[in-house]
Amino acid sequence: MSNAAKNKIILWAIDPDHLNDETPTTLKILREWSQKLECQVQPLSIFTEDKLQSLPLDTDTITANLRDYFPAEFNLPKILVIRSSSRRKMAARFNRYAVDLKASYIFVRARNLSGAFFHLGGFTEALLAQTLVPTVVLNVNAQVKRFDAPIIFPTDFKRSSLIAMKLVIRFVQQSKSPLELFNQIEHHSRSVMNEIKVQRGKTAKRWTRHLRSAGIESSVHFSVDHNSLAEEIIQEASRARAGLIIMPSRPMSLPYSLIGSNVKKVLMLAKCPVMVINRKV
């Protein structure tokens, strides 16, 4: 591993109570990202003081036991200990650690669907609501795709999206993947939709010129909202055989469960990893 790679970290959020959920797919995706982006993978777990005291093991022994679950090339797992069992406070502590470590990316699992509701898990939702580091969510449907498979970037072409675009450019330059800008046109009369498409098309051309100046070739896909935005994004990712969806979002104050419904649905149902970039990053 190069010296540059030693300074680039993928922080992997692990839950010792659900290690069996970390499927071979998760490990394959992490390994490929580590190799292609020249990053170290740092597993990190958070224990409450009460949880730690209830175990007949010290932190060194727990770390050694966790190590057996992960590939040898990954860093030795680290453990953070906090007093509170609040998922929000755990996520805040994790986020501070990621920022202090200058992590490039965070990886975290989404839990299974729970009844009729999309349930990411309290910690995952809290982390996504406040993270300052691009966070990749893997759900149970995530499949291993070629690292250079197309990337879908849903955008409204507004100025605020340009903040996320800076990180998209950085990632695409490293991954060498084709980039598709995806935009949904709201349903109106045909003449209004045509006018909207013309105006957004002009903006899209400026964006693609900007991307080309950064050495990135991109395409643009417009969709009329026959379905929800999330469904359209998932369908387009499937059609394009995308290897990654990058979703712009915004850090939120409490209640953190109010993660946008479209973002949440894509996170739970996409068949590829989904990266969430908060627009204030």
| pLDDT tens digits, 46-80 | 888 888 888 877 788 888 877 877 888 999 999 99
What is the DSSP secondary-structure string of 6-56?
HT-EEEEE--GGGGGGS-HHHHHHHHHHHHHHT-EEEEEEEEEHHHHHHSS
Provide the whole-model pTM: 0.88
What share of the chain in percent tops pLDDT 90? 40
What's the whole-number average pLDDT of the chain?
83
- Check whether 190 has a pLDDT greater than 80: no
How is the chain split into domains, by residue range? 3-138, 151-278
The CATH class that applies to domain 151-278 reads alpha beta
- Check whether 260 has a pLDDT greater than 90: no
pLDDT of residue 1: 52
Task: Report phi then psi at 32, rounded to 5.
Answer: -65, -40
Looking at per-residue pLDDT, the higher value among 272 and 191 belongs to 272
CA distances from 153 to 34, 156, 206, 276 (A): 22, 10, 16, 10
Task: Report phi then psi at 23, rounded to 5.
Answer: -75, 165
CATH 3.30.499.10 for domain 3-138, yes or no, is: no
* Amino acid identity at 116: A
pLDDT of residue 256: 41
Distance CA 67, CA 69 (A): 5
pLDDT of residue 204: 92
Kindly report, residue by residue over 92-114, the tens digit of the pLDDT: 999 999 999 999 999 998 865 44
Structure tokens at 215: 């050495």
DSSP-derived pairing of the beta strands 274-278 and 135-138 = antiparallel
Looking at per-residue pLDDT, the higher value among 12 and 195 belongs to 12
